[in-house]
Amino acid sequence: MKVCLKSKNLRELYPTDIVFQTEYWGKVKSRLGWKPYAFDIDTSLCREDVLVLIKSFEGNSSVAYVPQGPEIAPDEESRGIFLEALSESLAERLDSRIAFIRYDLPWMSPYAQEMNRKQWYDFPESRVREMRMNFATRNWNLKKAPVDMTVSDSFIVRIEGTEEEILSRMKPKTRYNINLARRKGVEVRVAPVEKLPVFYRLYQETALRNGFPASEFRYFSALFSAHEKGQSDLEVVLLLATHSRDALAGAVIAISKTRAIFLHGGSSNEKRNYMGSYAMHWEAIRYARSRQCRTYDMGGVSPSKDPGHSFFGLYRFKTGFGGDILHRSGSWDYPIDQEAYMTFRNLETFQGGKDSDTAHRLGCLHSSY
């Protein structure tokens, strides 16, 4: 397979529901030290475009990162062949110091049906997944990344229909807690960007409580400073749930075309019985509906009802809102400089995978996802 690439301006990227493949996201990451590139992709299978981000790491090496892209998935038997050809073409066009290319694939996992039908607790081990992905490739060089830059399993709520219909699809306890928050006087409003420090304090409390490393405040500042006022195809919203003068919960929501996505959230250690997080997500759904969205992506959950999974608490909370788990293919690497790649991979693995500082330096997109 041959993949032809043509450089283009970020402003020329095609409209998409994937916020991480937009001009906006390129601007966010450029404020955080990444260099964004955009390319048209032309193959016998498809024509699309892709946003690629470049950043230096240890020594003189760099990494190329494709956030939730490419968007269009070839037939399953052609996926590895396509990624191999795309990687070789990108390697010719990008910085010669690139150690590897990491794809955070938005494609549905080839194991999704088995996960649902056979009620698997998790995906097969990486070795098995690599055999399937590399089938019929020339170099057998695609590696399952030890870190999924955005989670491979997220919870999607359909928000079409009336509010009553959406509520009817929720679990009774979730409906009860939404109403309980209202009865206790919890209010949720769209907050101005000046309230971002309030949200950040909630986010830090949540990070400390749940044991994940918090992103720096400048990351959240970049989310809002990169957004242009009047940009019709994208909106970034800060929501705060409050009771009296107390901030109970907060969320950063991105809306692109017909999809709303919960990027980040945080909640207070105080007044947890006021159910601020339930009220916040319900208001996020109502706001997304007002913007003609069809789905609300609540972010990461465990892939199944597995009490031993670190995301099981998120599974219990989010599945109450009535929706489905989307099993994506996760992050995949194409090494170019094998020695530099193994140095990075070993460091990433030894420091604890998803929760490592290395993952955040590489650009982990958000904690909820």
The model's pTM:
0.92
Q: Which of 150, 115, 149 is nearest to 129 (CA)?
A: 115
Q: Do domains 4-152+328-362 and 160-293 have the same CATH topology?
A: yes
* Rounded (to 5) percent helix, strand, coil in the chain: 40, 25, 35
Task: pLDDT band for 95, please (50, 70, 90 cuts).
Answer: confident
How many angstroms separate the CA atoms of 36 and 282, rounded? 35
Task: pLDDT band for 2, please (50, 70, 90 cuts).
Answer: confident
Task: pLDDT band for 364, please (50, 70, 90 cuts).
Answer: very low
Task: pLDDT band for 65, please (50, 70, 90 cuts).
Answer: very high
pLDDT digits (tens, 9 = 90+) for 229-271: 666 679 999 999 999 999 999 999 999 889 999 999 999 999 9
pLDDT at position 231: 67
Alpha carbon 6 to chain centroid distance?
Answer: 26
When pLDDT is averaged across residues 45-57 and rounded to a whole number, the result is 90
How many angstroms separate the CA atoms of 308 and 229, rounded? 44
Residue 360 has pLDDT above 50, yes or no: no
pLDDT at position 365: 37
Residue 369 has pLDDT above 60, yes or no: no
**Amino acid making up residue 132:** R
Instruction: Give how far Cα 156 sits from Cα of 159, 300, 357, 362, 369, Å.
Output: 9, 10, 28, 26, 12
DSSP H stretches of helix in 231-275: none
Residue 139 has pLDDT above 50, yes or no: yes
Task: pLDDT band for 356, please (50, 70, 90 cuts).
Answer: very low
Contacts of 128 (CB under 8 A, 6+ apart): none
Classify 352 as helix, strand or coil: coil
Classify 50 as helix, strand or coil: strand
Q: What is the domain partition of the chain in residue ranges? A: 4-152+328-362, 160-293
pLDDT at position 25: 96
- Tokens describing residue 303: 């892939």
When pLDDT is averaged across residues 57-63 and rounded to a whole number, the result is 84
What is the number of alpha carbons within 13 Å of residue 15 lying toward its C-beta? 9
Q: What counts of helices (H) and strands (E) characterise the chain?
A: 12, 13
Residue 152 has pLDDT above 60, yes or no: yes
% the chain with pLDDT above 90? 79
Contacts of 301 (CB under 8 A, 6+ apart): 151, 153, 154, 155, 311, 314, 315, 318, 319, 325
The values of phi and psi at residue 69, to 5°, are -155, 170
pLDDT at position 46: 73
Please check whether the domain covering 4-152+328-362 is classified as CATH 3.40.50.1580. Answer: no
Q: The domain 160-293 is classified under which CATH number: 3.40.630.30, 3.30.70.360, 1.10.3720.10, 3.10.180.10? A: 3.40.630.30
Residue 158 has pLDDT above 60, yes or no: yes
**Better-predicted residue by pLDDT, 286 or 43:** 286
pLDDT at position 352: 52
pLDDT at position 230: 64
Burial of 136 (0-12, 13-18, 19+ CB in 10 A): exposed
**Better-predicted residue by pLDDT, 287 or 228:** 287
pLDDT digits (tens, 9 = 90+) for 321-352: 999 999 999 999 999 999 999 989 988 887 65
- Tokens describing residue 361: 């330096």
When pLDDT is averaged across residues 79-87 and rounded to a whole number, the result is 96
How many angstroms separate the CA atoms of 64 and 79, rounded? 19
